[in-house]
């Protein structure tokens, strides 16, 4: 950098490196320099916005996304993020509101309706936050997004009962925003048609949706509301804190749909930052949800087992299963669309999956090379791999570069729309799915929906998805995969298996799956007290974010476990030095198991100036003064017997930051 500081793209890469290392201040500086060097480029500002949202404050993030839109009004990613960072229009600062109206081209008096945001008691609310975030960057759905879209489209039908409310979470509002049913329905249908994010119909519909979110009122929950998260909630670090608040304050029952726990079970298959974020999310989720919807019996068993390992056991009866054995058939394109990819009907095997290590393309490639050695390359069908570009897959591309034969036998396709994917399924010999681990295995259900035999791994949930209609192999053994493939290349064997599918396999309708989601979520009972963290004996619970990813599966002293102790709107997003408190509504809430002579120690640090705070427990207040660079500890005796504790923390002067909680005995 010292030799050629003018190279803007190098500053961007430096920002990426510092972010992955957890050096957020250095990453911010690098992205800011990149933004200065190229005043027409929005990427550094988008990166800064995401950093600020995840590690700092929503207002800072909103400023970066506004700056990106001032450079390019058509940056959908910035619009998507900005509208969820805005406070309710009655609470927003006038200058920020004016800037928002300008970059979004909203007339000052625009309102979507007279909706006050109030919900009737017992309403069913479906949270699609990450689906809207996905639409801000991409269009064509992958596995999780496809499930959310299909369930949503059924729930949006007039005849569906009960009629759910669709919403997105806003980190700035510390609450949820209702979506327009009409515009959300149109958006979901458009997403399935193409991967063209520049399509005027697509961008126009996104624009309508974003404008409505910007001016909509925040939802007001009523007792017994069932809040179902159809996706995940990793991006907003106060999301689960706010879930805990509406559970305790409004009687909301929170039931997330859990697709898998694979980043905990196989962290080696993911980038370290994803594992870190997943662990943070999961550790807090166990103390924030009343129950869970698991997409398979295998995922249910994983959740029950791992939650016990993490000392927050989930009762099995609180984890109903919603199987994803849906009908994935879509209207297909003309068979001539195969010719555009150099394919003929019946000449290929189809592998649908993102290119990532867990999906195990490498062993499939090795099996194809083994087949070529045995049968001769001319007698081996092409392996057509359809899916996202993924991550950690350089070894796959290196295999292709090193082997001309493999390049001739393997075709990788990205960005395939639903109608072309349907055609690929209809005309393939059979489907291959060599994944090492799954929560369900949607491509297996897809293949069966089209009457095709899936050759799949004998692991995790895949036998549930494939049942007696699939052919099975050991995913770690290329010879076993090759043997299974050879068997299915024998036409009588394949036709016999296809006949069994046509005769006996009946996929569920998406209406049935959506009804399952609503009904089973409604069967979950509130467990607010039961899900409070239980502290027993000595230990430390940090409120600071880790500088480095930690992939060890030892959660007892995990750095994220302190997040679930927080309660109240005054807590801000956790940072590298701890969690700042802004206001008088902040508490630590947990069960204490009881121990003779135990002490609770709250570790404070100050921001740039001196700060003072007051800690209240069992009617006794303790004050402390914190100097910059000089941590301060407030100590309180803990009761000898088991008790639920509510400990208030109120800033008096300055920025008060809680670094960690410690118990000594």
Q: At 601, which CATH number?
A: 2.60.120
pLDDT tens for residues 304-358?
A: 999 999 999 999 999 999 999 999 998 888 888 899 999 999 999 999 999 999 9
Instruction: Identify whether residues 308 and 368 lie together within a single domain.
Output: no
Residue 77, domain member (yes or no) = yes
Instruction: Identify whether residues 224 and 366 lie together within a single domain.
Output: no
Instruction: Identify whether residues 490 and 348 lie together within a single domain.
Output: yes
Instruction: Identify whether residues 564 and 648 lie together within a single domain.
Output: yes
The answer, yes or no, to whether the previous bond of 169 is cis (omega within 30 of 0) is: no
Residue 529, domain member (yes or no) = no
Residue 114, domain member (yes or no) = no
Instruction: Identify whether residues 81 and 165 lie together within a single domain.
Output: no
- Evaluate if residue 2 carries a pLDDT over 70: no
DSSP state of 468: G
Instruction: Identify whether residues 202 and 314 lie together within a single domain.
Output: yes
DSSP state of 337: G
- Evaluate if residue 554 carries a pLDDT over 50: no
Instruction: Identify whether residues 398 and 440 lie together within a single domain.
Output: yes
Interatomic CA distance for residues 569 and 203, integer angstroms: 35
Interatomic CA distance for residues 645 and 638, integer angstroms: 9
Beta bridge partners of 657: 580, 605
Instruction: Identify whether residues 193 and 221 lie together within a single domain.
Output: yes
Residue 637, domain member (yes or no) = yes
* Six-digit token string for 425: 């399924």
Interatomic CA distance for residues 402 and 400, integer angstroms: 5
Final residue of a structural domain among 468, 491, 506: 506
Whole-structure pTM value: 0.87
Final residue of a structural domain among 293, 318, 343: 318
Buried b (16+ CB within 10 A) or exposed e, 100-119: bbebbeeeeeeebeeeeeeb
Residue 158, domain member (yes or no) = yes
Residue 426, domain member (yes or no) = yes
What pLDDT is attached to residue 10? 84
Percent of residues, the chain, with pLDDT higher than 90? 64
Least confident of 158-162, 273-277, 498-502: 273-277
Instruction: Identify whether residues 44 and 153 lie together within a single domain.
Output: no
Domain count, the chain: 4
- Evaluate if residue 505 carries a pLDDT over 80: yes
Contact between 242 and 177 (Cβ < 8 Å): no
Top mean pLDDT of 27-31, 217-221, 584-588 is at: 584-588
Q: In which band, very low, low, confident or very high, does the pLDDT at 556 lie, cut at 50, 70 and 90?
A: very low
Question: 634 phi and psi, to 5 degrees?
Answer: -105, 125
Q: Which of 281, 265, 261 is nearest to 551 (CA)?
A: 265
What pLDDT is attached to residue 222? 93
Beta bridge partners of 542: 660
The residue assigned the tokens 């404008």 is: 211
Residue 290, domain member (yes or no) = yes
Q: For the residues 451-478, what does the mean pLDDT come to?
A: 97
Strands 643-653 and 611-617: antiparallel
Q: In which band, very low, low, confident or very high, does the pLDDT at 553 lie, cut at 50, 70 and 90?
A: very low
- Give the domain CATH number at 214: 3.40.50
- Give the domain CATH number at 400: 3.40.50.2000
- Give the domain CATH number at 35: 1.25.40.10
Helix, strand, coil fractions of the chain, as percent rounded to 5 = 45, 20, 40
pLDDT tens for residues 344-401?
A: 999 999 999 999 999 999 999 999 999 999 999 999 999 999 988 888 888 888 888 9
Instruction: Identify whether residues 165 and 305 lie together within a single domain.
Output: yes
Q: In which band, very low, low, confident or very high, does the pLDDT at 56 lie, cut at 50, 70 and 90?
A: low
Percent of residues, the chain, with pLDDT higher than 70? 95
Instruction: Identify whether residues 133 and 276 lie together within a single domain.
Output: yes
- Range of the structural domain that residue 72 is part of: 8-104
Q: How many Cβ atoms from other residues are within 10 Å of residue 286's Cβ?
A: 23
Residue/partner pairs of 499-506 with CB below 8 Å, 24 or more apart: 500/468, 500/469, 501/448, 501/451, 501/452, 501/453, 501/469, 502/451, 504/469, 505/448, 505/451, 505/467, 505/469
Residue 212, domain member (yes or no) = yes
Instruction: Identify whether residues 569 and 625 lie together within a single domain.
Output: yes
Q: How many Cβ atoms from other residues are within 10 Å of residue 95's Cβ?
A: 8
Q: Which of 227, 115, 121, 109 is nearest to 175 (CA)?
A: 227
């Amino acid at each position: 950098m010292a030799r050629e500081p003018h190279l803007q793209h190098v500053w961007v890469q430096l920002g990426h490196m510092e972010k992955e290392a957890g050096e957020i201040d250095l990453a911010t500086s690098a992205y800011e320099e990149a933004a200065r060097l190229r005043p027409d480029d929005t990427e550094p500002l988008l990166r800064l916005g995401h950093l600020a949202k995840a590690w700092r404050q929503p207002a800072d993030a909103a400023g970066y996304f506004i700056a990106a839109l001032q450079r390019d009004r058509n940056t959908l990613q910035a619009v998507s993020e900005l509208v969820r960072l805005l406070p309710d229009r009655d609470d927003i600062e006038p200058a920020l509101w004016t800037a928002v109206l300008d970059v979004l081209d909203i007339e000052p008096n625009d309102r979507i309706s007279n909706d006050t945001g109030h919900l009737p008691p017992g309403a069913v609310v479906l949270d699609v936050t990450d689906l809207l975030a996905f639409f801000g960057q991409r269009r064509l759905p992958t596995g999780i997004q496809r499930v959310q879209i299909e369930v949503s489209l059924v729930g949006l039908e007039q005849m569906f009962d009960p009629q759910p409310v669709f919403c997105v979470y806003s980190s700035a509002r510390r609450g949820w925003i209702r979506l327009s049913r009409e515009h959300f329905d149109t958006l979901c249908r458009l997403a399935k048609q193409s991967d063209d994010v520049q399509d005027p119909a697509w961008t126009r519909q996104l624009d309508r949706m974003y404008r409505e979110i910007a001016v909509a009122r925040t939802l007001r929950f009523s007792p017994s509301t069932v809040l179902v998260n159809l996706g995940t909630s990793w991006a907003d670090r106060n999301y689960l804190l706010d879930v805990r608040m509406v559970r305790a304050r409004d009687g909301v029952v929170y039931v997330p749909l859990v697709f898998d726990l694979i980043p905990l079970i196989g962290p080696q298959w993911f980038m370290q930052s994803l594992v870190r974020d997943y662990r943070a999310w999961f550790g807090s989720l166990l103390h924030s949800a009343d129950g869970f919807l698991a997409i398979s019996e295998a995922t249910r068993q994983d959740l029950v087992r791992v939650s016990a390992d993490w000392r927050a056991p989930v009762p099995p009866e609180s984890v109903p299963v919603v199987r994803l054995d849906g009908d994935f058939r879509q209207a297909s394109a003309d068979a001539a669309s195969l010719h555009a990819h150099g394919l003929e009907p019946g000449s290929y095997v189809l592998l649908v999956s993102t290119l990532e290590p867990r999906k195990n393309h490498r062993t499939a490639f090795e099996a194809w090379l083994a087949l070529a050695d045995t049968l001769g390359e001319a007698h081996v069908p092409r392996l057509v791999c359809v899916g996202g570009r993924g991550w950690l897959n350089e070894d796959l591309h290196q295999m292709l570069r090193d082997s001309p034969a493999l390049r001739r036998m393997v075709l990788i396709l990205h960005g395939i729309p639903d109608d072309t994917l349907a055609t690929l399924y209809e005309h393939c010999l059979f489907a291959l799915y060599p994944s090492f681990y799954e929560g369900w295995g949607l491509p297996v259900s897809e293949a069966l929906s089209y009457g095709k035999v899936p050759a799949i791994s004998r692991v995790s949930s895949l036998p549930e998805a494939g049942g007696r209609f699939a052919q099975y192999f050991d995913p770690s053994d290329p010879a076993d995969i090759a043997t299974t493939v050879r068997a299915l290349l024998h036409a009588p064997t394949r036709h016999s298996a296809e006949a069994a599918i046509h005769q006996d396999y009946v996929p569920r309708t998406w209406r049935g799956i959506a009804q399952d989601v609503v009904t089973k979520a409604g069967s979950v009972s509130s467990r607010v007290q039961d899900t409070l963290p239980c502290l027993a004996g000595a230990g430390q619970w940090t409120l600071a974010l880790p500088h480095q990813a930690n992939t060890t599966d030892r959660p007892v002293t995990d750095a994220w476990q302190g997040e679930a102790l927080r309660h109240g709107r005054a807590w801000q997003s956790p940072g590298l030095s701890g969690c700042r408190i802004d206001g008088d509504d902040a508490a630590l809430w947990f069960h204490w198991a009881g121990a003779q002579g135990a002490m609770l120690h709250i570790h404070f640090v100050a921001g740039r100036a001196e700060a003072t705070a007051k800690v209240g427990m069992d009617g006794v207040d303790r004050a402390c003064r914190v100097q910059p660079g000089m941590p301060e500890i407030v100590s309180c005796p803990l009761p000898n017997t088991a008790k639920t504790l509510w400990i208030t923390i109120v800033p008096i002067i300055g920025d008060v930051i809680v670094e960690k909680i410690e118990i000594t005995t």
